[in-house]
Amino acid sequence: MSASPDAQGREEGGYGRSAAILSAGIGVTGLVTYSYFSLASHTLSESDYGGITLLWSAVFVVVSVLYRPVEQLLSRTIADRDARGQTGGGAMRVAATIQLALGALFAVVALALRGPIRDDLFGGSSTLYWVLIVTVLAYAASYFARGFLAGHRRFGLYGALVLMEAISRCLFAVAVAVGIAEGQSVVALGMAAAPVVSMAVVPWALSRRLRPGPVAAQSEPASAPEARETEFTLAHGSGFAAAVLVVMVAEQTLLNAGPLLVKATGGSEGAALAGFTFNVLLIARAPLQLFQSIQTSILPHLTRLSASGGTDPFRRSVNATLLAITAFATVVALTMLAIGPTLMDLFFGGEFEYGRGGLVLVALGMGFYLAAATLNQAALARGAAKQAAVCWALAAGAFVAFLLAPLVEDRVLRVEIGFLGAALGLTAMLYALYRRDHTSSAPAAP
């Protein structure tokens, strides 16, 4: 089946609107999240605030690795089956089974390691430990809902979910700031409450029965062979989710291995140097928050184009996103070249001196990293998850190997060079996969 040019044009326009809506929503969410930490830092002692940042880091590393694979699985599968005119709840059941298994695995491991997590990570705080458990388990439902909404292209509700999550979390910090409550525990409880409260959008979404959006409704109907329901098994879903899990682990390695290894090898100044390295990598981290909106909307969009045989619109969407990333990364790199050290000193201060060249390297690495993330979504949309996972694993492995090899004496510069090299290599591998897929006869089924 090949959709009409008018239907493909509406699909492309819908993607642009969806990305704009999500960008605005996630942008506001980022500001609210910043307010949460700003309020916490002004109302808690340095030690208590440090516990909050540790809890935040632990929660979001775990949920990104464990639950985003199922979010991506649902988003792609629902969009693909909708484009093919297929029905049935098999994909939902498979995704729910995987998500429940991952949540249960986390609970078992976290309970078994209760002592080390509570004492070594959270300095003996049982409250922070239990908030970690409850929050991670609650996010299993939240990420399932995100994949469900994204697959059905209900991006307004998706944005409402993440915004409600951020606002409800921030209200706990506000309560401490105005004197209604006090202490680290209250601020931490906001993290556990946030994913639970955000799920209030789900009943409203279900009450609307998630009818296909305008683009789908106006597309040409699927032909009879494509419209038949095909079995979506646990093996299919687990294979895709496992591949994306590898991608998520590699992503966290590229973003976090640098500061961790700097701390481990930095001796007495390791902690401070690790914080300095973390600040430098924020040049790459901060744009990733906004890019989540692009990732969320582009996967179902590309999946629908792939399923409908829209090769040219598929290529145009990917190329347009890559061009936007190139322009953005160029502006950031030139800004770092001109006034980067001044900006970093203004925002972060500290005793270390920010090198202009290193900041430019990270800015360029950020551009390649965002390009790789776009090409990764194209690979997932065309059913090449396993091949994409191999690319990510190779890039992450090479990055860690470079950090461990004393080829560059300056440890921070080693991270900066390694990040750029890994991002460039990853982009090259995924681009080769992208070009190869365009010469294949047909996209893979989910």
Based on the domain organization, do 160 and 299 belong to the same domain? Answer: no
Based on the domain organization, do 332 and 398 belong to the same domain? Answer: yes
Based on the domain organization, do 201 and 237 belong to the same domain? Answer: no
Instruction: Assess whether pLDDT exceeds 50 at residue 226.
Output: no
Confidence category of residue 103, pLDDT binned at 50, 70, 90: very high
| Residue 345 Cα to chain centre, angstroms | 28
Based on the domain organization, do 298 and 161 belong to the same domain? Answer: no
More confident position, 266 or 169: 169
Tell me if 321 sits within 8 A of 374, measured CB to CB.
yes
Predicted local distance difference test score (pLDDT) of residue 221: 42
Based on the domain organization, do 174 and 62 belong to the same domain? Answer: yes
Based on the domain organization, do 38 and 15 belong to the same domain? Answer: yes
Mean pLDDT of 33-57: 82
Residue ranges making up the domain that contains 169: 1-229
Predicted local distance difference test score (pLDDT) of residue 232: 62
pLDDT in tens, 388-435: 999 999 999 999 999 998 888 888 899 999 999 999 999 999 999 998
Confidence category of residue 366, pLDDT binned at 50, 70, 90: very high
The mean pLDDT of the chain is: 82
Predicted local distance difference test score (pLDDT) of residue 134: 96
Based on the domain organization, do 314 and 391 belong to the same domain? Answer: yes
pLDDT in tens, 156-200: 888 888 889 999 999 999 999 998 988 889 999 999 999 999 888
pLDDT in tens, 273-330: 777 787 788 777 777 766 776 777 788 888 888 877 767 788 888 898 899 899 989 9
Which of 4-8, 48-52, 406-410 comes out lowest in average pLDDT?
A: 4-8
Predicted local distance difference test score (pLDDT) of residue 443: 46
Q: Which residues of 200-236 are buried (b: 16+ CB within 10 A; e: fewer)?
A: ebbeebeeeebeebebbeebeebeeebeeeeebeeeb
112: exposed, middle or buried (C-beta count within 10 Å: 0-12, 13-18, 19+)? exposed
More confident position, 229 or 22: 22
Tell me if 18 sits within 8 A of 153, measured CB to CB.
yes
- Which among 173, 205, 229 is the end of a domain? 229
CA–CA gap between residue 93 and residue 99 (Å, rounded): 10
More confident position, 14 or 390: 390
Predicted local distance difference test score (pLDDT) of residue 107: 96
Give me the residue label for tokens 């309020």: 39
Mean pLDDT of 216-226: 42
Based on the domain organization, do 78 and 188 belong to the same domain? Answer: yes
Based on the domain organization, do 206 and 285 belong to the same domain? Answer: no
CA-to-CA separations, 346 to 79, 341, 350, in angstroms, rounded: 45, 9, 10
- Which among 174, 203, 229 is the end of a domain? 229
Predicted local distance difference test score (pLDDT) of residue 214: 44
Based on the domain organization, do 154 and 255 belong to the same domain? Answer: no
CA–CA gap between residue 407 and residue 399 (Å, rounded): 13
CA–CA gap between residue 282 and residue 293 (Å, rounded): 18
Mean pLDDT of 222-237: 55
Domain count of the fold of the chain = 2
Which of 4-8, 133-137, 309-313 comes out lowest in average pLDDT?
A: 4-8
Tell me if 157 sits within 8 A of 205, measured CB to CB.
yes
412: exposed, middle or buried (C-beta count within 10 Å: 0-12, 13-18, 19+)? buried
- The amino acid sitting at 125 is S
Mean pLDDT of 439-443: 50
| Residue 319 Cα to chain centre, angstroms | 21
CA–CA gap between residue 143 and residue 366 (Å, rounded): 25
CA–CA gap between residue 290 and residue 330 (Å, rounded): 17
Q: What is the pTM of this model?
A: 0.78
How many CB atoms sit inside 10 A of residue 442's CB?
Answer: 9
CA–CA gap between residue 374 and residue 317 (Å, rounded): 10
Based on the domain organization, do 163 and 273 belong to the same domain? Answer: no
More confident position, 50 or 175: 175
Based on the domain organization, do 91 and 205 belong to the same domain? Answer: yes
Share of the chain above pLDDT 90, in %: 37
Closest CA to 66 of 93, 100, 113: 100
